[in-house]
């Protein structure tokens, strides 16, 4: 089934990519509207048949955040808290347009939970993951700081931000943002509105870590 979504995450995953976005539908007059499920934006995560569902990088290298992407969905394959997973025909993927980057447009896609995935920390413990029903959301923040952390000879780009009175410090997996940040460390200095796609990763040493999988600054 042909399906449209606005890309809000195109990040690294096990050496390949993880893409995700919010489903759109085309109305009779040709316009696009937001698809909702249980009153919230309906997220999709196209996955492959690989062990962790990662998508080959060469298939999605050209995709940018706010692109409208069309795919053929083969089947829905939710995996616990990753309820957004869908298997798709990799040969069907194509960009068919863009959503104009404005606060008016992007505010339609945001959510405002009191905490990110049920707690105030940087991760959800594996023994609590069954209480989580989703692994993707878009939030709006107004001030962030980005820094490079070096641990055990490994550099990791991270972001600090405040959301609903809680402070978060999470890894950034948005490859396009990382490239832009390396060229200009002040890339967010003049932004009035910052939209973050927050993703909940696969289990690692007993924890599902929260990740910044997409960054849009206006």
Q: Is 19 in contact with 7 (CB distance < 8 Å)? A: yes
Q: Is 147 in contact with 182 (CB distance < 8 Å)? A: no
Identical fold between 2-100 and 104-217: yes
Identify the pLDDT of residue 155.
84
Compute the distance between CA of residue 129 and CA of residue 117 in angstroms, rounded to an integer.
9
pLDDT digits (tens, 9 = 90+) for 37-68: 999 999 999 998 877 788 988 899 899 999 99
Closest C-alpha among 51, 87, 81, 98 to residue 210: 81
pLDDT digits (tens, 9 = 90+) for 164-209: 999 999 999 999 999 999 999 999 989 999 999 999 999 999 999 9
pLDDT digits (tens, 9 = 90+) for 112-170: 999 999 999 999 999 999 999 999 999 999 889 999 988 766 789 999 999 999 999 99
pTM of the full predicted structure?
0.95
Compute the distance between CA of residue 169 and CA of residue 144 in angstroms, rounded to an integer.
10
> Hey, where are the domains in the chain?
2-100, 104-217
The residues, ordered by sequence, that sit 6+ positions from 214 with a Cβ below 8 Å of its Cβ are 8, 9, 10, 11, 65, 138, 174, 177, 195, 196, 197
Identify the pLDDT of residue 152.
63
- CA dihedral of 9, 117, 196, 204, whole degrees rounded to 10: -60
Residue 145 tokens read as 């700081």
Q: Which CATH number fits domain 2-100: 1.10.20, 1.10.8, 2.20.25, 2.40.50?
A: 2.40.50
Architecture of domain 104-217: Beta Barrel (2.40)
């Amino acid at each position: 089934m042909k399906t449209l979504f606005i890309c809000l995450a195109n990040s690294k995953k096990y050496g390949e990519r993880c893409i995700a976005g919010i489903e759109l539908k085309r109305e009779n007059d040709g316009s696009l509207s937001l698809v909702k499920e249980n009153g919230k934006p309906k997220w999709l995560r196209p996955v492959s048949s690989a062990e962790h569902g990662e998508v080959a990088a060469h298939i999605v290298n050209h995709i940018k955040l706010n692109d409208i992407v069309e795919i053929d969905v083969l089947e829905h394959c939710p995996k616990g808290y990753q309820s957004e997973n869908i298997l798709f025909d990799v040969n069907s993927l194509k960009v068919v347009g863009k959503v104009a980057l404005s606060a008016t447009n992007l505010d339609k896609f945001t959510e405002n939970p009191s905490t990110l995935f049920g707690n105030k920390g940087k991760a959800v413990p594996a023994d609590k993951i069954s209480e989580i029903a989703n692994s993707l959301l878009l939030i709006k923040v107004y001030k962030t700081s980005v820094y490079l952390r070096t641990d055990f000879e490994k550099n990791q780009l991270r972001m600090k931000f405040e959301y609903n009175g809680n402070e978060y410090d999470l890894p950034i997996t948005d490859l396009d943002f990382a490239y832009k940040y390396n060229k200009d460390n002040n890339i967010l200095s003049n932004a009035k509105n910052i939209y973050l796609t927050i993703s909940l990763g696969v289990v690692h040493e007993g924890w599902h870590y929260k990740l910044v999988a997409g960054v849009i600054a206006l």
